[in-house]
Amino acid sequence: MIVLRTPKGWTCPPQIDGKRTEDYWRSHQVPMGDMGKPAHVKILEQWMKSYKPQELFDKSGRFKPELAELAPKDDRRMSANPHANGGLLLKDLRLPDFRRYAVAVKQPGAVEAEATRIMGAFLRDTMKINMEHRNFRLFSPDENNSNRWQDVLEVTNRAWMAERYPYDDHLASDGRVMEMLSEHQCQGWLEGYLLTGRHGFFSCYEAFIHIIDSMFNQHAKWLKVCNHIPWRRPIASLNYLLSSHVWRQDHNGFSHQDPGFIDHVVNKKAEVIRVYLPPDANTLLSVTDHCLRSRNHVNVIVAGKQSAPQWLDMDAAVKHCTAGIGIWEWASNDRNSEPDVVMACCGDVPTLETLAAVSLLRRYLPDVKVRVVNVVDLMKLQPSAEHPNGLSDKDFDALFTTDKPVIFAFHGYPWLIHRLTYRRTNHKNLHVRGYKEEGTTTTPFDMAVMNDLDRFHLVADVIDRIGLRGSHHQAGPPRQAYRTKHYIAEHGEDMPEIRQWKWSGAVRRKTD
């Protein structure tokens, strides 16, 4: 690389109208733009002639052949250099079988695991088997271990080119983990790495990925244009893991609560962007494998790092992720008939609270027919005419019905779901719960209560929309939510029945 440092506006007139121009901020403006002034025309003429065009062009205005011969040829040209068209150099990653890392799930919700830690083991072995090709790196703004990717340090180190001390932790000049507390530095590194034909993954706290909003914009726009340039070869996708997310900021609080990056991402062209919210570790493994194999996309994965219930065994997870959306029959009781209500969920915590709400409905209102729909691929909600992953209206209606109430528990801001589904037949019956900018340093369940995403509010929504308003059932859920908040204020943790709750399948009606 040759770096040439020059004055700002080098070779432009030193002064215009008595004001400094060359090597000054005015050279970035239009300091002599008034062509109605003869003096400005004269200055422009003198400036252009200072480049001695008579030495560059012949009398007919053609570039002199002996100068044209100086230009590099073939692959030596900047635009034809394979490093500027990274897809020419791209080699597929060697990937271990992600199924080997599966969490053994014999019954939904019976075991717990840290989803991103399981993902980290898969990425560790991906790194290990690609060390020979040196074409895979992880990027993180000082959060690699916090987001549970620490296992990769078993096979490589953090890249570090400066002085090292005996007490340093996994620093080496040949390390393949790029870690610096600078989101935009990591984004720039990763973009350059991908554009030159390699592969990478970027993990970040969900709230702070916004720092690179404009950088993401430019990369997404570049991909959109490149998709329509035939000589541009596809490059590996830009993959994000957003963890330490809005619903689990037990010790960081309000400053770390913002799920809005996905709102920003879906503004870009449908051919480029993908958004995934896997509800557990096995679905996360399936999505991760898919993203590492994809090309010319920006893939955003949102997944929690805290210990949480695991819902699907690996076979079910692969099937669910392949579809991107589906009815969880084991959690539903509509028995292939028309449900009374559809309980939809997208995201790990919304899935947990939805299933807890369903268990309450089974206990207290067992005659209510509930259909549970889980969404992994957020873009499935858009019509197929608007996004290549979107569902047709027929398939969407088959899941969400055309006239039944839909209670949708969503990881992010509620209006994003309305934005994606406003053309659907049953949109008028869609009621979305999500983050509504309420939070503090508190317990996980209290965060859900503060934003009306908890199981009790979801049950209240069902009661309200299936015609039981005014019944003795209606007062129960708000009273339960208040009781849990009182307990949290007194004990500093969630109630045992919240912390220890497990999905138990069908239950009998409770009579008290």
Q: What is the pLDDT of residue 509?
A: 42
Q: What is the pLDDT of residue 1?
A: 81
Same-domain status, 494 and 381: yes
pLDDT at 199 exceeding the cut of 80: yes
Same-domain status, 104 and 13: no
Q: What is the pLDDT of residue 474?
A: 54
Same-domain status, 302 and 191: yes
Q: What is the dihedral of CA 382, 383, 388, 391, to 10 degrees?
A: 90
What tokens appear for 336 in the block? Answer: 């292939």
Same-domain status, 137 and 284: yes
- pLDDT tens digits, 34-77: 888 999 999 999 999 999 999 999 999 999 999 999 999 998 88
Q: Is residue 163 part of a domain?
A: yes
Q: Is residue 87 part of a domain?
A: no
CA dist 54 and 63 (Å) reads 10
State the DSSP string of 239-276: EEEEES-TT--TTT-GGG---THHHHHTTS-TTTEEEE
Last residue of a domain, one of 273, 307, 341: 307
- pLDDT tens digits, 96-105: 999 999 999 9
Beta strand 406-410 with 430-433 is: parallel
Q: What is the pLDDT of residue 121?
A: 98
Same-domain status, 175 and 226: yes
Q: What is the pLDDT of residue 471?
A: 54
Q: For 85, how many CA atoms within 13 A lie in the half-sphere containing its CB?
A: 16
Arithmetic mean of pLDDT, 194-213: 97
Same-domain status, 112 and 164: yes
Q: What is the pLDDT of residue 508?
A: 44
State the DSSP string of 160-219: --S---TT-SSEETT--EEE-S-HHHHHHHHHHHHHTT-EEEEEEEGGGGGGGHHHHHHH
Identify the H or E element spanning 433.
strand 430-433
Same-domain status, 146 and 211: yes
Closest of 257, 261, 301, 258 to residue 281, by C-alpha: 301
Q: What is the pLDDT of residue 469?
A: 59
Arithmetic mean of pLDDT, 240-252: 93
Number of domains comprising the chain: 3
Q: Is residue 60 part of a domain?
A: no
Q: What CATH number does residue 141 fall under?
A: 3.40.50.970
Identify the H or E element spanning 300.
strand 298-302
Question: What phi and psi, each to the nearest 5 degrees, are found at residue 54?
Answer: -65, -20
pLDDT at 252 exceeding the cut of 60: yes
- pLDDT tens digits, 327-339: 999 999 998 799 9
Q: What CATH number does residue 386 fall under?
A: 3.40.50.920
- pLDDT tens digits, 255-300: 999 999 999 999 999 999 999 999 999 999 999 999 999 999 999 9
Q: Is residue 422 part of a domain?
A: yes
The pTM score is: 0.91
Q: Is residue 349 part of a domain?
A: yes
- pLDDT tens digits, 91-131: 999 999 999 999 999 999 999 999 999 999 999 999 999 99
Cβ atoms 274, 324 nearer than 8 A = no
Beta strand 406-410 with 325-327 is: unpaired
Same-domain status, 11 and 104: no
Q: What is the pLDDT of residue 473?
A: 55
Q: Is residue 88 part of a domain?
A: no
Q: Is residue 40 part of a domain?
A: no
Same-domain status, 201 and 342: no
- pLDDT tens digits, 117-171: 999 999 999 999 999 999 999 999 999 999 999 999 999 999 999 999 999 999 9
Q: What is the pLDDT of residue 507?
A: 45
CA dist 291 and 298 (Å) reads 9
Same-domain status, 244 and 191: yes
Task: Say which residue the tokens 């970027």 belong to.
Answer: 202
pLDDT at 355 exceeding the cut of 90: yes
pLDDT at 511 exceeding the cut of 50: no
Q: What is the pLDDT of residue 359?
A: 95
Same-domain status, 282 and 225: yes
Mean pLDDT value across the chain: 93
Same-domain status, 429 and 294: no
Task: Say which residue the tokens 């390699």 belong to.
Answer: 198
Last residue of a domain, one of 256, 272, 307: 307
Which of 8-12, 273-277, 319-323 bottoms out in mean pLDDT, i.e. has the lowest? 8-12
Q: Is residue 63 part of a domain?
A: no
Cβ atoms 464, 474 nearer than 8 A = yes
3-state secondary structure of 55: helix
Containing domain of residue 392, as a range? 324-499
